[in-house]
Structure 1
Amino acid sequence: MNVAVNTAVFLKDLQAGVPQIDCLRRLQQLALPIPAVEVRGEFFDPQQQASELAQIAQLCQQADWELYYSVPEALFTSEGVAASLSENLQLAQKYQIRSLKYSFGNLPDLTPATIADLRALLTQSGVQVTIENQPNAHGTLRQMQQDLAWVRQHQLPLGYTFDAGNWYWVAEHPEVSFGQLQDQVTVFHLKDIKHQDTVLLDQGCTDWRNLVNQLPETVPVFLEYAVDQGQLADQIKLVNAALSR
């Protein structure tokens, strides 16, 4: 099992307008065993998104990477299911995107017919959709337990992306939360935090090795924090060493 990479590792470049395809080409040049990459919807130019995703899909095929996509939206709003879901599922099917990640949003009040339609849409798409704990009031342990219980109650095929860093912004501990939610985790976002600031691994407060070593090998682990380009290979190797248990 090797660590995967979210394009957040290139955050400074992305904020400066560098396309994600260019960042991923640099990642490929590291020639490290990376099983998957996750791109971020907020950093696509809407006018160039289709052409860039086509290039990314081609690169992933060449590099033997699975492709994940982080959607910067909540899956559920006060009006119901996010309007973007159908379109994003079609996008995923077109560009061989294995998984879409949303935040959960508001615990919805949906009719049985709407829930049935959502269940069918998710099942028929063949695309994994996950929800993630957020660094806000929607992302407390108690709220995530309620949200995930609601998902199970309605038999919705939604996965759960456990973000190890976001807990610090809601005054929770990732180790405690992981102990309560471990059996529901389908994707793991790895980062280390110190004083509510993302830092390199082993420079923060997170017992990250203990967390990732409790995951089954079927759960992908993604680096998801800004890393200077000269340190990225070492951070990848550090996690891979921990995962080679």
Structure 2
Amino acid sequence: MYFMKVSINTAVFLDQMNAGHSQYDVLQELIGKPIDNVEVRGEFFQPASQEAELDKISELAHQNNWGLYYSIPEALFNDGELNPHLTDYIALAKKTGIQNLKISLGDYGALTEDTKQLLMQIPTNDVAISVENEPNEHGEVPKIFNFLDTTNGHFGYTFDSGNWYWIDQDPQAAMDQLSSKITVFHLKNIKDRDTTMLDDGDTDWQRLTKKVPAGVPVFLEYNIPSAKLLDQEITKVNELL
């Protein structure tokens, strides 16, 4: 029997990346740690070197048996218009072995039959695409639920446990309504609209995480300022999983 382990979004290395280290650099620090997947973030690549760095990251993931995920720093919809760059991201993902592209949902306006048809034509078999709840009005539960329900499982859903605080929503209540739709879980804790270590925020993160459907990857996605703290947070979540 395979026991799930926690996964890591490169946001945990925010201090180092802000200091100029690349995502390939910081991911080396995860070698040998008990993790399942890594998720890189589009905003931390230099456009000129992104593909070359992603190739190296892909090889690193392969060597360490990590699944590779990618966070797109854009929205699927802008003022009701579908993001024209999506096909480029899908091509990039296929080339570099990315399993899942995460993108904010954005403002989809009215989901007309034409829009729905366009959405269903987006290929999601080889590369999964998951939409995420944003920390604004586009991330409210009814909007997320309506989109996922209308597209009937064609898209995954990344539940971000922290973003609810920016729209004054309770993550536990959101989980109760959306748990059946979740395909990726971004775990973080929040106090005064700032991220904290897991045990220091306002969310009962253990109770929340226990409601995540079996088999859904649980990603740490918040700045963790030291290797020692990172090991402690990894251990906490692995003990729960």
Q: TM-score per shorter chain, which class?
A: over 0.9
Q: Identity of paired residues, percent?
A: 44
What amino acid does structure 2 have at the position aligned with 1:186? T
> Which of 13, 16, 19 is matched with 2:22 structurally?
19
The more displaced of 146-155 and 192-201 is 146-155
Aligned 8 A contact 2:80 2:108 in 1: no
Equivalences for residues 1-245 of structure 1 within 5 A: 1-28=4-31, 31-78=32-79, 80-109=81-110, 112-123=113-124, 125-141=125-141, 145-155=142-152, 157-230=154-227, 231-243=229-241
What SS does structure 2 have at the residue aligned with 1:38? strand
Is the 8 Å Cα contact of residues 41 and 72 (structure 1) preserved in structure 2?
yes
CA contact (8 A) 1:119 1:156 kept: no
Deviation at 1:181, TM superposition (A): 0.9
Counterpart code for 2:40: V
User: TM-score by structure 2 length?
Assistant: 0.93
Q: Are 1:68 and 1:98, in contact at CA under 8 Å, matched by a contact in 2?
A: yes
Preserved CA contact (<8 Å) 1:80 1:109? no
Supply the AA of the counterpart residue of 2:157: Y
Question: In the aligned structure 1, how far is the partner of 2:166 from the partner of 2:138?
Answer: 11
d(CA) in 2 for partners of 1:147, 1:74: 13
Q: 3-state DSSP class of the match of 2:99? A: strand
**Aligned partners of 1:156, 1:213: CA distance in 2, in Å?**
22
Asked whether the equivalents of residues 20 and 39 of structure 1 are also in contact (C-alpha less than 8 Å), the reply is yes
Report the Cα offset of residue 68 of structure 1: 0.3
Please state whether the residue corresponding to 1:206 is helix, strand or coil.
coil
Structure-1 separation of matches of 2:49 and 2:5:
31
Where does structure 1 differ by over 3 angstroms across 4 or more consecutive aligned residues? 108-115
The aligned length equals: 237
The superposition leaves residues 141-160 of structure 1 with CA deviations (integer Å, 9 ceiling, x where unpaired) of 3xxx2333233224361111
Deviates more, 1:51-60 or 1:74-83: 74-83
- Residue identity matched to 1:206: T
CA distance in 2, matches of 1:163, 1:15: 22
Query: Is the partner of 1:212 in helix, strand or coil?
Result: helix
The answer on whether the counterparts of 1:71 and 1:101 sit within 8 Å (CA) in structure 2 is: yes
Cα contact 1:107–1:147 (8 A) shared by 2? no
Residue segments in structure 1 that go unaligned for 5+ positions in a row: none
Relative to structure 1, the CA distance from residue 114 to residue 15 in structure 2 (aligned partners, 3 Å threshold; closer, same or farther) is same
The structural deviation recorded for 1:90 is 0.5
Give the distance between the partners of 2:236 and 2:160, measured in 1 at CA: 19
Question: Does the 8 Å contact 1:130/1:158 carry over to 2?
Answer: yes
Are 2:133 and 2:144, in contact at CA under 8 Å, matched by a contact in 1?
Answer: no
Q: Distance in 2 between matches of 1:115 and 1:105?
A: 15
